[in-house]
């Protein structure tokens, strides 16, 4: 289980959400068998989704983050519920590209910069809230910061990290999002720049044994903070047979009849958890009849 914490300064002007998503991203790697750079891309997006998820008000609310910048990874997508449990996928899980100029996994190179970051918040209204900003870096954290600045007018500091072991398993993953609320004093920004500027990368701190509490406290050095919420978060898919059947029905009567005649059955895999759903000839006949 990962741990997500949300704090606010005692004067109520700055909030921080921090999360350790090591287990969540490890699960994503096990399901999708991603290469190192796509593990980092998907892991960072899952981490961001988890933190944005807990800012949603309703229990059934969810957020979807989607990036496609024309790079070799194709679409990277992550969905989180309002308790920070996330799931996701990447259209091309295996991308092998050289490290970037600073010797790190080239997430920006995998995602590409020619496209957009779409943030879709399903908050129980007829239509979801959709924010759409151009990808400015492809490293994801900068893109989340840009999204908040442009679409929600909230000054935000975002850090996201995934450390992949040489055997492709996940060593550490996590991140934080700091936001200035209205009426934040001018000096709060200077103080934050100072404390955040001194921080090592989140994954370095996590792999050195620091807890997410300690990381949040260090990021907010010089501020008095109070814990608002604490969540245990994990990679979680809520797919079920009914929903998969509904998706299958959308191909239409003709196509279903075709499948029945040719294959006598249909098999669908969930994009998020790879669970297999089998529909035999009787299931198909029933669906055809009901459409
Ligand atoms: Zn699933």
DSSP the chain: -EEEEEEEETTSSEEEEEEE-HHHHHHHHHHH---HHHHHHHHHHHHHHHHHHTT--STT-EEEEEEE-SSTT--EEEEEETTS-EEEEESS--------TTSS--HHHHH-SSSEEEEEEE-SSSS-EEEEEE-SSSSSHHHHHHHHHHHS---EEEEEEEEE-TTS-EEEEEEEEEEEPTT--HHHHHHHHHHHHTPPPHHHHHHTT--HHHHHHHHTTTS-EEEEEEEEE-B-----HHHHHHHHHTT-HHHHHHHHHHTS-EEEE-TTT--EEEE-HHHHHHHHHH-
In the reported structure, the alpha carbon of residue 176 is separated from the centroid of ligand 1 by a whole-number distance in angstroms of: 27
pLDDT, one tens digit per residue, over 64-120 is: 999 999 999 999 999 999 999 999 999 999 999 999 999 999 999 999 999 999 999
In the reported structure, the alpha carbon of residue 249 is separated from the centroid of ligand 1 by a whole-number distance in angstroms of: 18
In the reported structure, the alpha carbon of residue 236 is separated from the centroid of ligand 1 by a whole-number distance in angstroms of: 8
Average pLDDT value for the chain? 95
CA–CA dist 163, 173 (Å, integer): 6
In the reported structure, the alpha carbon of residue 82 is separated from the centroid of ligand 1 by a whole-number distance in angstroms of: 18
Contact 162, 43 (CB under 8 A): yes
In the reported structure, the alpha carbon of residue 12 is separated from the centroid of ligand 1 by a whole-number distance in angstroms of: 39
For domain 241-290, is the CATH number 3.90.1280.10? yes
Closest alpha carbon to 71 in 45, 37, 106, 110: 110
In the reported structure, the alpha carbon of residue 179 is separated from the centroid of ligand 1 by a whole-number distance in angstroms of: 32
What average pLDDT does the segment 37-58 reach? Answer: 97
| Token digits of residue 218 | 């260090």
What average pLDDT does the segment 196-214 reach? Answer: 95
In the reported structure, the alpha carbon of residue 291 is separated from the centroid of ligand 1 by a whole-number distance in angstroms of: 24
pLDDT in the model for residue 210: 96
Contact 50, 1 (CB under 8 A): no
In the reported structure, the alpha carbon of residue 137 is separated from the centroid of ligand 1 by a whole-number distance in angstroms of: 30
CA–CA dist 88, 234 (Å, integer): 12
In the reported structure, the alpha carbon of residue 277 is separated from the centroid of ligand 1 by a whole-number distance in angstroms of: 10
Contact 46, 237 (CB under 8 A): no
In the reported structure, the alpha carbon of residue 238 is separated from the centroid of ligand 1 by a whole-number distance in angstroms of: 6
In the reported structure, the alpha carbon of residue 280 is separated from the centroid of ligand 1 by a whole-number distance in angstroms of: 20
In the reported structure, the alpha carbon of residue 143 is separated from the centroid of ligand 1 by a whole-number distance in angstroms of: 27
Q: Phi/psi at 250 (nearest 5 deg)?
A: -65, -15
Q: What pairs with residue 67 in β-bridges?
A: 76, 117
In the reported structure, the alpha carbon of residue 244 is separated from the centroid of ligand 1 by a whole-number distance in angstroms of: 9
| Token digits of residue 94 | 């295996």
Please state the pTM of the whole predicted model.
0.94
In the reported structure, the alpha carbon of residue 205 is separated from the centroid of ligand 1 by a whole-number distance in angstroms of: 32
Instruction: Give me the residues near ligand 1 (ion), CB cutoff below 5 Å.
Output: 237, 239, 270, 272-273, 275
Mark 236-271 as b/e (b = at least 16 C-beta within 10 Å).
bbebeeeebbeebeeeeeeebeebbeeeeebebebe
In the reported structure, the alpha carbon of residue 25 is separated from the centroid of ligand 1 by a whole-number distance in angstroms of: 16
pLDDT, one tens digit per residue, over 216-263 is: 999 999 999 999 999 999 999 999 999 999 989 999 999 999 999 999
Is the model's pLDDT at 42 over the cut of 90?
Answer: yes
Domain layout of the chain by residue ranges: 2-233, 241-290
In the reported structure, the alpha carbon of residue 269 is separated from the centroid of ligand 1 by a whole-number distance in angstroms of: 8
In the reported structure, the alpha carbon of residue 9 is separated from the centroid of ligand 1 by a whole-number distance in angstroms of: 38
In the reported structure, the alpha carbon of residue 62 is separated from the centroid of ligand 1 by a whole-number distance in angstroms of: 16
Contacts of 264 (CB under 8 A, 6+ apart): 280, 281, 284
Answer positive or negative: Cα dihedral of 70, 74, 79, 85.
Answer: negative
What average pLDDT does the segment 11-35 reach? Answer: 97
In the reported structure, the alpha carbon of residue 263 is separated from the centroid of ligand 1 by a whole-number distance in angstroms of: 24
CA–CA dist 41, 112 (Å, integer): 11
Is the model's pLDDT at 189 over the cut of 90?
Answer: no
Contact 48, 25 (CB under 8 A): no
Is the model's pLDDT at 291 over the cut of 90?
Answer: no
State the fold for domain 2-233.
Hsp33 domain (3.55.30)
Answer positive or negative: Cα dihedral of 30, 33, 34, 35.
Answer: positive
């Amino acid at each position: 289980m990962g741990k997500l914490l949300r704090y606010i300064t005692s004067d109520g002007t700055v909030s921080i959400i921090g999360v350790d998503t090591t287990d969540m991203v490890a699960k994503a790697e096990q399901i999708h068998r991603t290469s190192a750079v796509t593990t980092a891309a998907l892991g960072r997006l899952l981490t961001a989704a988890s933190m944005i998820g807990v800012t949603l008000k309703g229990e059934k609310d969810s957020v979807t983050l989607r990036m496609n910048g024309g790079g070799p990874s194709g679409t990277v997508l992550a969905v989180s519920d309002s308790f920070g449990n996330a799931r996701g996928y990447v259209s091309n899980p295996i991308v092998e590209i050289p490290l970037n100029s600073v010797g790190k996994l080239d997430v920006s190179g995998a995602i590409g910069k020619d496209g957009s970051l779409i943030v879709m918040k399903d908050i129980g209204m007829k239509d979801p809230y959709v924010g759409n900003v151009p990808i400015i870096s492809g490293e994801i954290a900068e893109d989340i910061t840009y999204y908040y600045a442009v679409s929600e007018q909230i000054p935000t500091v975002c850090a996201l990290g995934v450390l992949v072991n040489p055997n492709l398993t996940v060593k550490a993953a996590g991140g934080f999002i700091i936001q200035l609320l209205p009426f934040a004093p001018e000096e709060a920004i200077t103080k934050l720049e100072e404390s955040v500027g001194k921080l090592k990368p989140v994954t370095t701190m996590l792999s050195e044994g620091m807890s997410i509490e300690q990381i949040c406290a260090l990021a907010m050095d010089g501020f008095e903070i109070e814990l608002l919420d604490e969540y245990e978060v994990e990679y979680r898919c809520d797919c079920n047979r009914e929903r998969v059947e509904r998706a299958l029905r959308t191909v239409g009567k003709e196509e279903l009849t075709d499948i029945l005649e040719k294959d006598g059955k249909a098999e669908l895999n969930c994009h998020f958890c790879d669970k297999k759903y089998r529909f035999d000839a009787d299931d198909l006949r029933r669906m055809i009849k009901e459409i």
